[in-house]
């Protein structure tokens, strides 16, 4: 299927920081309560159950004056941090977390859904020197989760932008620790990775008929790093699975007002990022070209006094869409603890919703996805992604009003 011109341009713009920022964290095999920080970093600004979400970032309305380190230089000029937070930005519906991004039905996972892959398909190389689960792959010490790339290189990318792709940052969901990074569904731990050749009907990975949940990746000069595999579970199984961990994805659908709840447990002190990716979007975007393209260049058309002007400046926009301002199905997201106490929620109206939460070993969590609106009378499709930082970093030195403590 041809991807509309607008979505290609928007995704290209949005993914520049994502592709360049797939560089991130490390640490030795974690023990309960262990702090894993960048060398020389100050104490973490976020304690247990501190969170960042699309709602908390959106509540800034583009005002990043409270964020430390300061976010001042966000090239190219005259773009500002506020521009990169707007509905047409990388965090918006046309960005990589929207229905035209890599995690949606239009991405590489879309056609593979929950198909079981039989043993007749030989496993792909997993542990050889050049393999994705080897020491030189994206999960190894020299890959995107290495200490130097995360701590030293990432903060230098895109002016002050790169720093905010780290844990606790304004754009953390797009960074290497989130669903778009190497621990996410499209990385080597997911169904398209080396272990994806053998799965059962529920989406569990098999090794000689035995269900496996983790994989060890060699690290030079350190113990192996153990990562939880990123399973793509069948919806009914995911909702009933009592022993789920913090690394899985599921594709399902909901009628407006209905909800799905998924329970899981953290086996480490870590950050967990949960995203509800809309699977469907308004498909005929060609007519928007003459309207939206000029807005991508703020030197030509840009009202800096209006936080939401970028997506909705065309007088005919509301008349052409199925409903006013509606580009995608929309889903709210809530995280609760094992007793049902709400820990965080994200109900942004014009961005895909996500939450990043600092958790401790043994925390029992429940993620609830609720369909707020759909483009048609049919149930709206979504992909839930849950990804923990595992043996990688579990602290942040970023602070600001976008963090909820």
Residues facing 384 on adjacent strands: 250, 276
The predicted-structure confidence for 4-13, as pLDDT tens digits, reads as follows: 333 333 333 3
Report which of residues 295 and 96 the model is more confident about.
96
Position 297 confidence tier, pLDDT thresholds 50, 70, 90? very low
The predicted-structure confidence for 91-125, as pLDDT tens digits, reads as follows: 988 899 998 899 998 889 875 544 444 443 444 44
Structure token digits, residue 309? 């002007």
* Residue of 193, 155, 187 lying closest to 20 (CA atoms): 155
Residue 30's pLDDT is: 55
Residue 32's pLDDT is: 58
Position 306 confidence tier, pLDDT thresholds 50, 70, 90? low
The predicted-structure confidence for 132-191, as pLDDT tens digits, reads as follows: 999 889 998 887 788 999 999 999 999 999 999 999 999 999 999 999 999 999 999 999
Q: Which helix (H) or strand (E) holds 320?
A: helix 317-320
Rounded to an integer, the average pLDDT of 225-234 is 96
Q: CB count, 10 Å around CB of 390? A: 30
Report which of residues 2 and 100 the model is more confident about.
100
Rounded to an integer, the average pLDDT of 230-234 is 96
* Residue of 235, 278, 256 lying closest to 371 (CA atoms): 256
Residue 325's pLDDT is: 55
Residue 112's pLDDT is: 53
Burial 281-303 (b: 16+ CB within 10 A, else e): bbeebeebeebbeebbebeeebe
Residues facing 214 on adjacent strands: 228
Rounded to an integer, the average pLDDT of 263-278 is 97
Residue 327 in this model has a pLDDT that exceeds 60:
yes
Residue 247's pLDDT is: 98
Backbone angles phi, psi at 345, to 5 degrees: -150, 160
Residue 220's pLDDT is: 81
How far, in Å, CA of 10 to CA of 92, rounded? 10
Percentage of the chain exceeding pLDDT 90: 60
Rounded to an integer, the average pLDDT of 25-32 is 46
Write out the DSSP string of 208-239. TTEEE-EEEEEETTEEEEEEE--EEE-HHHHH
Residue 286's pLDDT is: 45
Tokens 């393999």 label which residue?
A: 131
Report which of residues 251 and 286 the model is more confident about.
251
Residue 313 in this model has a pLDDT that exceeds 90:
no
Residue 221 in this model has a pLDDT that exceeds 60:
yes
Among the ranges given (40-44, 188-192, 298-302), the one the predictor scored with the smallest mean pLDDT:
298-302
The answer for residues whose C-beta is within 8 angstroms of residue 62's C-beta and 6 or more apart is: 80, 81, 82, 83, 85, 86, 307
Q: Answer yes or no: are the C-beta atoms of 84 and 78 closer than 8 Å.
A: no
Compute the chain's Rg from CA coordinates: 20
Position 331 confidence tier, pLDDT thresholds 50, 70, 90? very high
Instruction: Give the chain's mean pLDDT.
Output: 81
Report which of residues 374 and 159 the model is more confident about.
159
Residue 144's pLDDT is: 79
Residue 376's pLDDT is: 79
Burial 327-364 (b: 16+ CB within 10 A, else e): bbbbbbbbbbeeeeeebbbbbbebbbbbbbbbbeeebe
pTM, entire model: 0.84
The residue ranges of DSSP E strands in 63-118, in sequence order, are: none
Residue 83 in this model has a pLDDT that exceeds 80:
yes
How far, in Å, CA of 169 to CA of 356, rounded? 10
Residue 111's pLDDT is: 59
Residue 43 in this model has a pLDDT that exceeds 50:
yes
Residue 66's pLDDT is: 98
* Cis bond upstream, residue 76 (ω within 30): yes
Backbone angles phi, psi at 141, to 5 degrees: -65, -25
Residue 304 in this model has a pLDDT that exceeds 70:
no
Residues facing 232 on adjacent strands: 249
Position 294 confidence tier, pLDDT thresholds 50, 70, 90? very low
């Amino acid at each position: 299927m041809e991807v509309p011109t607008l979505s290609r341009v928007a995704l290209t713009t949005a993914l520049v920081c994502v592709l360049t920022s797939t560089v991130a964290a490390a640490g030795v095999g974690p023990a309960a309560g262990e702090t894993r920080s960048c060398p020389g970093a100050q104490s973490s600004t976020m304690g247990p159950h501190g969170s960042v979400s699309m709602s908390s970032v959106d509540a800034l309305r583009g005002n990043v004056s409270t964020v430390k380190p300061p976010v001042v230089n966000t090239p190219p000029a005259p773009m500002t941090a506020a521009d990169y937070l707007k509905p047409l930005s990388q965090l918006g519906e046309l960005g990589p977390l929207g229905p035209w991004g890599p995690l949606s039905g239009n991405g590489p996972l879309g056609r593979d859904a929950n198909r079981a892959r039989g043993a007749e398909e030989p496993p792909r190389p997993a542990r050889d020197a050049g393999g994705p689960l080897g020491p030189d792959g994206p999960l190894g010490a020299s890959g995107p989760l290495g200490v130097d790339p995360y701590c030293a290189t990432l903060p230098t990318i895109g002016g002050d932008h790169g720093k905010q792709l780290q844990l606790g940052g304004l754009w953390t969901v797009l960074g290497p620790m989130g669903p778009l990074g190497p621990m996410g569904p499209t990385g080597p731990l997911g169904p398209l990775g080396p272990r994806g050749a053998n799965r059962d009907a529920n989406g569990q990975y098999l090794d000689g008929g035995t269900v496996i949940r983790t994989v060890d990746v060699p690290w030079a000069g350190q113990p192996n790093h153990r990562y939880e595999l990123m399973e793509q579970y069948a919806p009914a199984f995911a909702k009933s699975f009592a022993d789920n961990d913090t690394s899985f994805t599921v594709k399902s659908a909901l009628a407006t007002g209905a909800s799905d709840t998924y329970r899981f447990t953290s086996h480490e002190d870590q950050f967990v990022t949960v995203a509800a990716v809309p699977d469907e979007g308004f498909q005929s975007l060609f007519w928007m070209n003459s309207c939206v393209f000029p807005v991508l260049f703020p030197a030509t058309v840009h009202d800096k006094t209006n936080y939401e002007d970028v997506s909705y400046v065309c007088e005919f926009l509301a008349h052409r869409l199925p409903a006013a301002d509606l580009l995608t199905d929309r889903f709210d997201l809530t995280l609760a603890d094992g007793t049902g106490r709400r820990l965080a929620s994200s109900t942004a109206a014009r961005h895909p919703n996500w939450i990043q939460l600092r958790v401790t070993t043994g925390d029992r969590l429940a993620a609830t996805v609720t369909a707020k609106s759909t483009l048609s009378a049919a149930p709206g499709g979504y992909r839930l992604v849950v990804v923990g930082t595992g043996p990688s970093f579990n602290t942040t030195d970023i602070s600001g009003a976008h963090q909820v403590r």
